[in-house]
Structures are given as C-alpha cells and as structure tokens.
Amino acid sequence: MYPRDKRRPQKPSKLEPYKGYILSRLREGMFNCNVLLEEIRAQGYAGGKSILKDFVARHRPLQRAQAVQRFEPPLARERLVCISSR
C-alpha cells in the first residue's frame, strides 16, 4: 500500500538563479529567447531552451491585433446595383 500524501519535495528550477536577470531584460523589452539563452549561458546556465521559453511566455505582454477599417468607394455599390438589375 502506498503512503498517503507522501510527495517528493519539489526541486528548484535550473532557471531560478537567473530569473531576476531575465525579468530585468524583459523590462528592457528583450523578449528574444535565443538572445536571452546566450546571455544566461554565458553566466553559467545549464538548462534547456524550453524552460526559458515557457517563463518568457508567461511574462510577455499580450499583443492585440489592430482593427482595420474597411474602405469601399461609393461607386462600387452603384456598380453592383447596376450590374445586378440587368
């Protein structure tokens, strides 16, 4: 029988010592994970890129698509009416 609620203690992430640096770079507007990975590897980071990408994605600001106003010249409607009334 398995012991109840006996879970392993969670290990700290390999990224943990570098999160402060990464957050400061994100505040400066650097969201390129390849550049960030090179910078923290130069500081001794031995983890993978996917952990970094997940962390950056959680802190990246949402980008909304700009609304586009459709432009139709007034003559286009008149032509449609003329063509369809034949």
Domain annotation covers residue 72: no
Residue type, 52: L
CB 32 within 8 A of CB 60: no
Domain annotation covers residue 28: yes
Q: How many domains does the chain have?
A: 1
Residues near 18 by beta carbon (within 8 Å), at least 6 away in sequence: 40, 43, 45
Distance CA 34, CA 50 (A): 11
Which residue range forms the structural domain that includes residue 29?
A: 12-61
More confident residue, 17 or 64: 17
pTM score of the predicted model: 0.63
Going by pLDDT thresholds of 50, 70 and 90, the confidence category of residue 26 is very high
Domain annotation covers residue 42: yes
Domain annotation covers residue 29: yes
Distance CA 75, CA 72 (A): 8
Domain annotation covers residue 4: no
Domain annotation covers residue 83: no
CB 25 within 8 A of CB 39: yes
Domain annotation covers residue 70: no
